[in-house]
Amino acid sequence: ACGSGSGARTGGTPRRGGTLTVATGGAKGSDTLDPMLLNSIPVSYMARVIYDQLADFGNDMEYHLQMAESIESNGTGDEWTIRLKPDILFHNGKTLDADDVLFTFQRTFSLPGAVTVGKFKAFVDLDGFTKLDRRTLRMKLLRPSATFHTALASPFKIVPVGFDPRNPVGTGPFKYKSFTPNRQWVCERFADYWNADGPSQPSATPAPPGLGPKPYLDELVVNVVNDDSARINALVTGQVDAINLLQYAQIPTIERHRELKLLESRTGAWTGIYMNMRQPPFDDVRVRQALRLAIDREQALTACLSGHGVVANDLPEPFATGYPASLVRERDLDRARALLREAGQDGVEVELVTGPVSTEAVSMCTVLADNAAEIGMKVKVRQVDTATLFGPNFHHWPFSVDKWPPQGDFLTLMALTDLSDTTTLTHPGGADLAELRGLYEQAQASTDGTRRAVLTRKMYEIQYERGGWIIPFFANVENAHNVRTAGWPEQDFPGRTFGNGHFEQVYRTD
Amino acid sequence: MRVGLVLTGLVLLVVVIGPFLAPHAHSDIIGAPFSPPSATALLGTDYLGEDVLSRVLAGGRSIVWISFVGTLVGVAVGAAIGMTAAYSGGVVDELLMRTMDVLRAFPPLVLILLLVSVARAESALMPLIVAIAWVPQVARVAYGAAKEVVGREFVESAEALGTPRMRIVRREILPNVMTPLMVDFGLRLTWSIGIVSAMSFLGVGLQPPAADWGLMIKENYQGLALQPWGVVVPVLCVAVFTFGTNLMTEGFARTVARVSPLEVTT
Amino acid sequence: MTAVAVKGLRVDLSGRGVDVVDCVDFTIDAGEVLGLVGESGSGKTTVGVTLLGDARRGAAIVGGSVVVDGQEVVGLRPDRLAKLRGSTVAYVPQDPSMALNPALRLRRQLDELFEFHRPELPDAARDERIRTTLREVGLGSGDQEEDDAFLARFPHQLSGGQQQRVTLAMAFVLRPRVIVLDEPTTGLDVTTQARVLSTVRDLCATHRVAALYVTHDMAVVSNLAHRILVMYAGRIVEAGTSAQIFDAATHPYTRALLAAVPLVSQRRELTAIPGDTPLPGSRPSGCAFHPRCPDAVAECATTTPDPVQVSPGHVVRCLRATRLGPARTAPRAVEPRAVRQNDVVLRVADLDAFHGRRQVLHDVSLALAARECLALVGESGCGKTTLARSIIGLHHRHSGGITFRGGEMATRARDRPPELRRAVQYVFQSPYNSLNPRRSIGEILREPLAVLSPVPAGKGRAGRTRAAVSEVLERVSLSPTVAARYPDQLSGGERQRVAIARALVCRPEVLICDEVTSALDVSVQASIVRLLRRLQDEEGLALLFVTHNLALVRTVADRVIAMRAGRLVEGGPVDDVLDHPGDPFTRALIAATPEFGAAPPGVPSAPTSREDRT
Amino acid sequence: MDRRPSSATGRLWLLRRVVFGMAVVLLGSVLVFAATQVLPGDPARAVLGHEATPERVAALRTELGLDRPLVAQYLAWLGGVLTGEPGHSLVTREPVGGLIGDRAVNSAVLVLVSAAVVVPLSVFVGAVAGRRRDRPFDRAVLVVTLGLTALPEFIIALLLVILLSTSVFPLLPGTVLLAPGQNPFGEPAQLVLPVTALVLGVLPYLARLVRGSVIDVYESEYVRTARLKGVPENVVLRRHVLRNALVPAVQGTALALAYLTGGVVVVEQVFNYPGLGSALVDAVNNRDFPVIQLICLVFAACYVAFNLLGDAMTVYVTPRLRTAGR
Ligand SMILES: Nc1ncnc2c1ncn2[C@@H]1O[C@H](COP(=O)(O)OP(=O)(O)OP(=O)(O)O)[C@@H](O)[C@H]1O
Ligand SMILES: Nc1ncnc2c1ncn2[C@@H]1O[C@H](COP(=O)(O)OP(=O)(O)OP(=O)(O)O)[C@@H](O)[C@H]1O
Ligand SMILES: [Mg+2]
Ligand SMILES: [Mg+2]
Ligand code: NI
């Protein structure tokens, strides 16, 4: 990867204020700023701008507290106490207190389609809350969860009591001004931002000391430009200051323009190919392993990402505790062929359902199909639109794709995927499932970090040896901006683009 | 007209024998994406690292096939409807042509989008979708041409003989609307090519990894700065083909039909 | 005083060195009407428009001089030419419905002439002039308001006759010295034609305008023109005074033309000129007429004849001009045939027919006997075609009985048994429309055989069908090789023969001919008429001959019935009706038909109701 | 004469055309509705995304009324359209009318501006070419228009972007960024390329049509008559030719407008123009059928309206038809 360019080049003197106009891709008509319904890239980073969390993963995927002063559990991990920082103001002037946190939980559970509910469903008991004082909340969980604090760190945006999504109010650095799905949204500077002097994410061009409290910008205008070419055109012609979801092939264009800069970062986000372990031929572990051995990860990385990413070994969450960096899968066509033959599935034909879940989803499948052919497996790639992909068959495709952002913790991820009855794509069963469950329960019940790491690693190993996931690589995120803006974070491991949405540290230099 | 024939013939040649000449399979990844022309990939590679030349050679089939069959079916069905309506007159005429009017109220591409939203564009269905989009338009043209003929005395003369209706449509009317229909066919073929490639461009047409000129333009457009051939060559192919069919139609219209193609269609 | 002097005029197709007309010399004096006659394609229009310095797209004046009112127009600068056109020399086009701009009101189209030629004339004077001219061409009412309303109309709001008068008014309004009229009465019915002709005559006389009157109809010019030029294949073959041409026609072509014209006053054996007018570029060497000439000798094919003066002012371009015998202006008169009236094949009884809600036929009854030719005459729009179409089963909205040999015929042709469909056949008016242009003559002629299948199926059917086609082509005097051709490769007369052959191929007993000659030149008309008579005599056909041409009736028919506004007004043997017309309408019709040879017919000048302004 | 209808029938004609046009739109609505109801994809699922549970999907189906009988759904929808409440987007849950209104205005601006450019331009080019038939200008026009017709619209649009925006001459914005509710006229520079693309798409047809009709009129007997009357050549063109050549041009313009409404789909997509066309493509991809239905209906209504306008204009410029009522 070529990183974020050579040295810092800024266009002029840093200044406060001004409007930042960006163009974003990946938007949908169904986008909403309701922080419980975040279902696309743009809204996920926009939520960071408007709202805030109790705890958070930094752009480097390091866990830290955010609006919480402390999050502590009892020894068994089934009772957690959250203490809030004082004097945090909502955009409407209200001070953040324990009621707001409670309300946020209640809303999460009652709002149809809330995406954050999956992480909490198994643990949170809405009747188990006790408000100790204005800033302190105690939660009795249904069962132990040693990783509950990390669940709070993945997008769980605190909203005030009586929150109305049509007029979103949060504690983030910018206030909501207007929002039209699939067109544009506008936010303006929130003068009373609680974390105005807090630490910033590492940047090649950090704001000079004299720039005052964050956020530096007066206004943030996000235009939806879903077409990749139109987006870069807008940047090149100076209609916008920054764009996200740059295509790898467009990087040379950015490099050719002196006034443009590339913002590239590794991520932990991945697009996976999922084998349904309850349906033939993938009910046979040998077939699964054969495919995993057949795929040429380097070639996939080159073909799909032009090399802009890192090879993965079918295991997600590379930044999580317990991630087994030593498990590396080398391509081995002979073994793959042998396994396939052993399974009696030589020449088997399967249909791989793919769709535009990410830019690389389709090409990844093409590469896989290409590689599979070499071991005598015929993979027919069927491309469908998202409506069909996520249609009623979504959880029952024999062979399909989906994209995930990193959760920061493997246990959380497993709860949302393989261990969930309703939302799994791989459908592990029998002994595997039981074993995974057992390990998961044990891990959640152990407050000892080291032991948890060992248990997690065991789960990782099961995945590695018997799982239904094919994860060839982690893709980089590519953004670009012009030199009239600076302060952009260097890293964006969560892969939410625009430096994980940390616009509060961006400033203009014109 | 001769130039048109040569151009169209050239494209058809590429389409027919191209796949056999292709140095690679059209969906084989042979190098890094958007690599410039080299000995292995004479026109460089595309967004996935597939060989542009092989894809160009393979990618004409779908577009030519879909637009040709689609147009042919559309023109045939539309002509049948238009002639039947014109000759039958009365209730049949009203019923058929008003239905066509309703369909015609949707611009072809909008009608296609509507159909595509119903039935995904499987490559086998695409000609049908293209055909349906043309039927009402062609019916209108055929109706106009046939209406001019049905009042003529030679049709009456056949009626006075008691010639069966179908025979009158086939023997007396069809030969007379044939010329405008041929011109119309040529024009619509040109438009079909545009529409089929536009469908690919809008993402509602053929889907990767199929090789298709329209799709190639869409896929490789972002790499234009790196590797222009992935876009330029398919654009040229589409342009040469439409230009060729257009010239042919124009020539045909001038020499045989002695009309401007537009007169037939408007 | 000479108003027009044309000398050695030659018009070529541009860049091809092929002449359309050549060696044309003539003069016209002020106040004189010069008739220019000839078959279609002989170059009449080409000569006519050269007087305005014009040649159609694709042609050019390449030689000779045209002096109009003392000014040479050949090679004149475009702006000077524009000044001349309309003011000094005016043009009356052939088809007024095409020649008037559909988007402009009449006043504008008339006023335009003043705008460019007399810009100095004050509005009031213009107005006055326009209204006077309207009166002169029989359109003015004298009432200013009514005239203004008339002038505010668009061309499509006028009848054909009115449109033709407007073009006359346009030509005369600036009082030009010369006027060129290109077949201004084609397409008008006889009464209207008669009135237009008299208008032209009066105007030329009063304003001393020199006129060139172009027509293919000898009868039309007979009582209009002072002198006549006869044109053939781009050459003037005979020129002389009206009397010289009609009484002492010398050129065989002129004689043939005259012999082809039917007369109301006399039943005559029409003679047709064999063959067709040659096109420019494919004209025979020597005398261009020699292949069609009955008097041609070997020399005619090689030597181009020079004009010969046979008497003062009478010039003939024929090698044998002085050696030919006296003119045979009056062809042999023939006796009426005797037909048995009691053998009725087709009977129409109390027929009422409707177009939509409008009744167009009232109580029409007629009977057609075997071997008989019954003519149905009447002015345009009186319902002749409707009657004929009802009989053949193409017009369905009628009540009343139509019987064939006593058997009732269904209203729709499709519902009739094949035998009836075979027995009664129909020939349409326009040979250009009644043959499918996309099918060969052979296919066209085989169609009735295939549909009515009188040729039994089985082995050899194709051969027998082919034989039947060849045979029927012979019966209409066409070569069997014609079967391979397409209609547009045939001349109008040949096409009409094919149309007749199509009717004959299934051996009908009754033939209904609807204006079968009105789209044809007189000489072609003569040949078709002769063909029909022969078929009648030889094959015993019964003929219902629909026409508006009374002169044809005299020649063709045994009996005639006259129709007016959907009712029969008179009927009887032809000679009785035409010699002693009982109905005033029949009488007016006879009077309006142009005639030569006999005393010049009177021209009625009172407008009839049809021509009244609505 | 007997063929001339009365003035009442003239007015009746227009009325009938209007009623007929409305019937077409109504039947079009049935078609659109019927078509969109047999979607294989599940819109409820598309809305909820991949983490939704089956119960949630079922609940949403009920909420959206997808489980009611089709006829009831249709009538409810039609009633909604007629009363200005054509339902809610399945995807955004916003009223469809509100979503589309702003975009409809944008598309209308695009179409009308393009028409305002292309119609006079085509008439000019066509008339000059027709006037100078077979001369170099005419030949050039024929070749250029033929070349333009050979290029599908989106290719023209892409080439324009490369040529005038990003690569060769970076003069104009190649992407349209309009705030919701913002008037496209406020950013005229952004309109240039989309309008040019549409103009280049229509120009060949319209210019050739005008050229053809100008030539026809030049060949007509009445132009010949006018010349033989001594009318100067420039007046012949102005008064006699253009006026009559206008008739097919008017029809052609109506057609071109209808064609433009279709053409916006592709062009909007290329330029990210926030109009109906791009909204339709999005809606098709999302299976958001209330939006698909309404947009298709709007397109159909526009087409019908343009045709009606074309007919009315034709009648107006054709005395034969206009005075039919007298
Ligand atoms: N510009 C031209 N281009 C080609 N052929 C021409 C042209 N002008 C005249 N001709 C041919 O020259 C011949 C004479 O034409 P012209 O119109 O003068 O004949 P006409 O006697 O007026 O015939 P009609 O009675 O049919 O009007 C015709 O065969 C015609 O086809
Ligand atoms: N299709 C029709 N619809 C309505 N009226 C018609 C139709 N055809 C003819 N008419 C009217 O019926 C009347 C008789 O028409 P028909 O054609 O029989 O007259 P015609 O005597 O043959 O006239 P022409 O000599 O002009 O051929 C006319 O007034 C005509 O206007
Ligand atoms: Mg003529
Ligand atoms: Mg008639
Ligand atoms: Ni890189």
Q: What is the pLDDT of residue C230?
A: 94
Rounded mean pLDDT, D187-201: 87
Sheet strands (E) in C14-143: 18-29, 33-37, 59-68, 71-72, 89-92
pLDDT tens-digit series, residues A136-193:
999 999 988 888 888 898 888 999 999 998 889 999 999 999 988 888 889 999 999 9
**pLDDT over threshold 60, residue D17:** yes
Q: Whose CA is nearest to atom 16 of ligand 2?
A: C383
- What total of structural domains would you count in chain D? 1
What is the Cα–Cα distance from C568 to C376, expressed in whole angstroms?
9
CA–CA separation, C449 and C428 (whole Å): 19
Residue B8 maps to a domain = no
Six token digits for residue A343: 């399974």
Instruction: Point out the residues of chain C with pLDDT beneath 50.
Output: 329, 598-614
Chain D: touching chains (3 or more CB pairs < 8 Å):
A, B, C
Is the Cβ–Cβ distance between C552 and C517 less than 8 Å?
yes
- Express as a percent the part of chain C with pLDDT over 90: 20
Range of lowest pLDDT (A350-364, A480-494, D134-148, D310-324)? D310-324
**C223 in Cβ contact with C47 (< 8 Å):** no
Decide if B226 touches D, using CB distance below 8 A: no
pLDDT computed for residue D62 by the predictor: 74
What is the structure's pLDDT at D323?
A: 61
Is B159 a domain residue? yes
Q: Which of A194-208, B188-202, D153-167 has the highest mean pLDDT?
A: A194-208
Q: In this structure, is residue C274 part of a structural domain?
A: no
Q: Contact D222/C156, CB-based, under 8 Å? A: no
Nearest CA in chain C to D317: C103
**B152: contact with C, CB 8 A cutoff:** yes
DSSP letters spanning A67-83: SEEEEEE-TTSSEEEEE
Work out the percent of chain A whose per-residue pLDDT is above 90. 46
Q: Are A26 and A477 in contact (CB under 8 A)?
A: no
Count CA atoms closer than 13 A to D39's CA, side-chain side.
30
Q: List pLDDT tens digits, range C151-204.
A: 998 888 888 888 888 998 899 898 899 999 998 887 677 887 888 888 888 888
On whether the CB atoms of residues A470 and A291 are closer than 8 A, the answer is yes
Q: What's the CATH number where B149 sits? A: 1.10.3720.10
CB pair distance less than 8 Å for A115 and D51? yes
C-alpha–C-alpha distance, residues A385 and A405, integer Å: 20
- Please indicate, yes or no, if residue D230 is contained in any of the structural domains: yes
Of the pLDDT bands very low, low, confident and very high (cuts 50, 70, 90), residue B122 is low
Q: Which of 162-221 (B) contact C at CB < 8 A?
A: 162-164, 167, 171-172, 175-176, 178
Q: Which residues of D touch A236 (CB under 8 A)?
A: 165-166, 170, 174
Q: How far apart are CA D154 and CA D268, in angstroms?
A: 9
The four Cα atoms C170, C171, C173, C179 give a dihedral, to 10 degrees, of 180
Unique residue bearing structure tokens 């074309």: D310
Chain A positions touching D285 (Cβ under 8 A) are: 385-387
Q: Please give the pLDDT value at position A220.
A: 95
Residues of C in contact with B162 (CB under 8 A): 413-414, 416, 418, 421, 451-452
Does the structure show a pLDDT above 60 at B265? no
CA-based radius of gyration for chain B? 21
| DSSP assignment letter at D233 | H
Question: Cβ(C333)–Cβ(C262) under 8 Å?
Answer: no
Q: Of C175, C193, C218, which residue sits at a domain end?
A: C175
**CA-based nearest distance B247→chain D, Å:** 8
Helical pair A285-294 and A361-374, crossing angle rounded to 10 deg = 100
Q: Indicate the pLDDT class of residue A7, thresholds 50, 70 and 90.
A: very low
Residue of chain B whose alpha carbon sits nearest to that of D260: B107
User: Nearest by CB to A249, which of B27, B47, B208?
Assistant: B47
Residue A467 has pLDDT above 70, yes or no: yes
Would you put residue A355 in left (φ > 0), alpha (ψ -120 to 50) or beta?
A: beta
Which residue in the set B34, B208, B225 is minimally distant from A362, CB to CB? B208
Per-residue confidence (pLDDT) for residue C333, from 0 to 100: 65
Is D180 within the bounds of a domain?
yes
Please report whether residue C410 resides in a domain.
yes
Minimal Cβ distance to B109: which of D28, D262, D289: D262
In terms of Cα–Cα distance, which of C443, C444, C463, C465 is closest to C454? C465
Inform me whether the C-beta atom of residue C433 falls under 8 Å from chain B C-beta atoms.
yes
Nearest Cα neighbor of B255 from B183, B203, B197, B195 is B183
Average pLDDT of B146-174? 86
Instruction: Give the pocket of ligand 1 (CB within 6 Å).
Output: C 13, 20, 38, 40-46, 56-59, 216, 279-280
Q: Can you give the residue range of the structural domain that contains C140?
A: 104-175
Chains C and A touch (3+ CB pairs under 8 A): no
Residue D43: pLDDT above 80? no
The reported pLDDT for the residue numbered D173 is: 77
Q: Two tokens at C465?
A: 């069908």
Give A488-498 pLDDT, tens digit per residue: 999 889 888 99
Instruction: Please name the residue of chain B whose CA is at the shortest distance from the CA of residue A301.
Output: B32
Which residue has the least CA distance to atom 25 on ligand 1?
Answer: C40
Which of B102, B119, B238 faces D155 most closely, judged by CB atoms?
B238
CATH label of the domain that carries residue D267: 1.10.3720.10
Query: Of A7-11, C186-190, D36-40, which one has max mean pLDDT?
Result: C186-190
Within a domain: residue D78?
A: no
Per DSSP (E only), the strands in C440-586 are 510-514, 542-547, 559-564, 567-573
C-beta atoms of C434 and B171 within 8 A: no
Query: What whole-number percentage of chain C has pLDDT above 70?
Result: 93
Side chain identity at residue D222, one-letter code: Y
Residue C565 is assigned to a structural domain of this protein: yes
Q: Phi then psi for D90, rounded to 5 degrees?
A: -70, -25
Instruction: Give the tokens for residue B171.
Output: 């023997």
Task: Give pLDDT, residue A6.
Answer: 39
Rounded to a whole number, what is the distance in Å from the CA of A244 to chain D's nearest CA? 15
**D65 assigned to some structural domain:** no
Q: What is the tens place of the pLDDT at every residue in B61-79?
A: 888 888 889 999 999 999 9
Q: How far is B157 from chain C (nearest CA, A)?
A: 7
Domain assignment of residue C391, yes or no:
yes
Sheet containing C235-241, strands listed edge to edge, beginning at the edge strand earlier in sequence: C89-92, C178-182, C210-215, C33-37, C227-232, C235-241, C314-316, C308-311
D128-165 tens-digit pLDDT = 888 888 888 888 888 888 888 878 888 888 888 888 87
CATH code where residue C528 lies: 3.40.50.300
> What is residue A120's predicted lDDT score, i.e. its pLDDT?
85
Angstroms from B163 CA to nearest CA on chain D: 32
Is residue D245, in this structure, part of any structural domain at all?
A: yes
Q: Do C436 and B167 touch (CB under 8 A)?
A: no
CA of C380 to the centre of ligand 4 (A): 7
Q: Which residues of B touch D39 (CB under 8 A)?
A: 117-118
Total beta-carbon pairs less than 8 A apart between chain B and chain D: 132
The ligand minimizing its distance to the Cα of C548 is 2
Mean per-residue pLDDT over chain B, rounded: 81
Q: Is C370 within a domain?
A: yes
Q: What is the atom index within ligand 2 of the atom nearest the CA of D3?
A: 31
Angstrom distance (rounded) from CA A30 to CA D48: 9
Chain B with chain C: Cβ pairs closer than 8 A: 58
Assess if residue D177 is contained within a domain: yes
How many degrees, rounded to 5, is the angle at CA C389 between CA C522 and CA C435? 55
Q: What is the mean pLDDT of chain D?
A: 79
Domain count, chain C: 2
CA–CA distance, D7 with D326 (Å, rounded to integer): 5
Q: A381 CB near a chain B CB, below 8 Å? A: yes
| Residue A306 region by backbone torsions, left for phi larger than 0, else alpha for psi between -120 and 50, else beta | left
In the three-class reduction of DSSP (H, G, I as helix; E, B as strand; rest coil), residue A271 is classed as: strand
